[in-house]
Amino acid sequence: MSQSPPNPAPKAVYVKSYGCQMNVYDSQRMADVMGAEGYREVATPEEADLILLNTCHIRERAAEKVYSELGRMRVLKEEAKAAGREVLVGVAGCVAQAEGEEIVRRARVVDLVVGPQSYHRLPDLVARATQKPGVVDTEFPAEDKFTKLPTATVASTRSRGLTAFVTVQEGCDKFCTFCVVPYTRGAEVSRPVSQVLAEVEKLAAAGVREITLLGQNVNAYHGLGPDGAEWTLARLLYRLAEVPGIARLRYTTSHPRELGDDLIAAHRDLAALMPYLHLPVQSGSDAVLKRMNRKHGRDEYFRLVDRIREAQPDIALTSDFIVGFPGETDADFADTLDLVRRVGFASAYTFAYSARPGTPGAEMDGHLPEPLKTSRLHELQALVAGQQRDFQESLVGRTVDVLFEKPGRKPGQVVGRSPHLLPVQVIGPSSLVGSIVPVRITATKTNSLDGVLVGNDHMMSVHAAE
């Protein structure tokens, strides 16, 4: 009696994510898409039959970094072929959108290129690339990709932890002169409330406790509600706070022009909305902000900060800054330093300007020499680092609620995050994972806090997490 041939092992997909939180979310959804086709997600490219690099175009020399990584993938692909195994390599995300067919031309290892609006088409693209490498899809399709995506399994959701990202808004209509996002992500669109709510409910059912809503201009959200009206981000947050199991809500990234009264009020009134706001200003100079096409000024930013702090005095404010934008004078840079000193940030992302091909900024006069940009960047970073230390030290002695997410690196240690998004480590049982527990902060490190459990009979000391 003949035996049936053994079932082939399921194919494996490896997704490497670069850059922003939205790319992390997109990478997870790409893994879900291929999971519905029978692919299991793996942690290393050496294990994979399909390798996807989900790229970001915001950072300096982003494209060149991708090509460097593709050199590594070429070696892996050749080694797999020598062992009798075919491996497909794909480039996704914003570099894929910006570079398109140029990627295939420059890197023969690439079998497919897919833009951020088309990853719901991955199964078809993979099938086509299997037959003929060099498939490129960087269109902005008419169909809503979110309606085409499969639901993540409970197992895959649980494997990703107690916190989750949910994209609610994509694209940008602001056209800042330094930014490629309008060209790589397209116009602003918002997902319907029912679609977002269904996704959050499924995440909560799988054990997720904290949701971060994502968008290039997330506070410009205007999704269609079940009542037929367009909902603001604030209204959406209030509704999501009602989902059983969801204890914490966050959102990023915001634009100062879209910080409305109802969203500020939500920071005052909605207990689930964490006291943390990332509000990029980019420069403290009105002249530079005008050349950047930011459509807000420094005084407007100051007024927003005053209003948000009046509504939520415990808010941790963070921001983005670009120094050395074309035409930036010493006085302009001094205005940026002045703004930072006057506002006082919990942290900030700081960058020296680097031109992005195709953006208006790249064509402007007055580009600054690299040494000057670097000098200004270092001065700004020193100021911001001091404010970050001050903010973290202000928490020492305070009691904050911590959502514990995982065991720590040391025996008996558990790690979670404070309402201000800072990692906190304590000594305590692993059963704390998934719970929100009061912790007294005892010390601060470079980017994290140490603490002890409040109400613990022994008030155990924390192990230093060096």
Which helix (H) or strand (E) element contains residue 212? strand 210-214
Nearest to 223 by CA among 246, 247, 200, 248: 200
Q: Length of the chain, please?
A: 466
What SS3 class is residue 55?
A: strand
Q: What is the pLDDT of residues 261-320, one digit of tens each?
A: 999 999 999 999 999 999 999 999 999 999 999 999 999 999 999 999 999 999 999 999
Using DSSP, how many helices (H) and how many strands (E) does the chain show? 15, 19
Report how far residue 271's alpha carbon sits from residue 273's, in angstroms, rounded to the nearest whole number.
6
Q: Residue 157: its pLDDT value, please?
A: 59
- Report residue 277: phi and psi, to 5°: -145, 120
Question: Sheet holding 163-167: strands in order across?
Answer: 163-167, 210-214, 248-252
Rounded mean pLDDT of the chain? Answer: 89
Report how far residue 117's alpha carbon sits from residue 131's, in angstroms, rounded to the nearest whole number.
23
Nearest to 439 by CA among 428, 452, 449: 452
Annotated binding-site members: 20, 56, 94, 172, 176, 179
Fold held by 12-137: Rossmann fold (3.40.50)
- DSSP code, position 285: -
Residue 10 above 90 pLDDT?
Answer: no
- DSSP code, position 46: G
| Cβ partners under 8 Å of residue 342, min gap 6 | 302
Q: What is the pLDDT of residues 157-181, one digit of tens each?
A: 556 689 999 999 988 999 999 988 8
- Report residue 217: phi and psi, to 5°: -135, 70
Q: Where are the domains of the chain?
A: 12-137, 145-394, 399-453
CATH number (3.40.50.300, 1.10.3720.10, 3.30.70.20, 2.40.50.140) of 399-453 reads 2.40.50.140
Report how far residue 175's alpha carbon sits from residue 294's, in angstroms, rounded to the nearest whole number.
8
Q: What is the pLDDT of residues 22-60, one digit of tens each?
A: 888 888 888 888 988 899 999 899 999 999 998 877 665
Range list of β-strands (E), 283-396: 316-323, 347-352
Which helix (H) or strand (E) element contains residue 199? helix 193-205
Residue 127 in tokens: 């099938």
Annotated binding-site members for [4Fe-4S] cluster: 20, 56, 94, 172, 176, 179
Q: What is the pLDDT of residues 431-444, one digit of tens each?
A: 999 999 999 999 99
Q: What is the pLDDT of residues 127-160, one digit of tens each?
A: 999 999 888 887 766 445 566 565 665 555 556 6
Identify whether the C-beta of residue 92 lies closer than 8 Å to the C-beta of residue 30.
yes
Between CA 376 and CA 387, with CA 382 as vertex, the angle to 5 degrees is 130
**Residue indicated by tokens 């990478």:** 27
Q: Write down the pTM of the prediction.
A: 0.82
Residue 465 above 50 pLDDT?
Answer: no
How confident is the model over 12-19, as a mean pLDDT?
Answer: 88
Q: Considering the domain 145-394, what is its CATH architecture?
A: Alpha-Beta Horseshoe (3.80)
Angle between helices 330-343 and 370-394 (to 10 degrees): 10
Residue 343 above 70 pLDDT?
Answer: yes
Residue 71 above 80 pLDDT?
Answer: yes
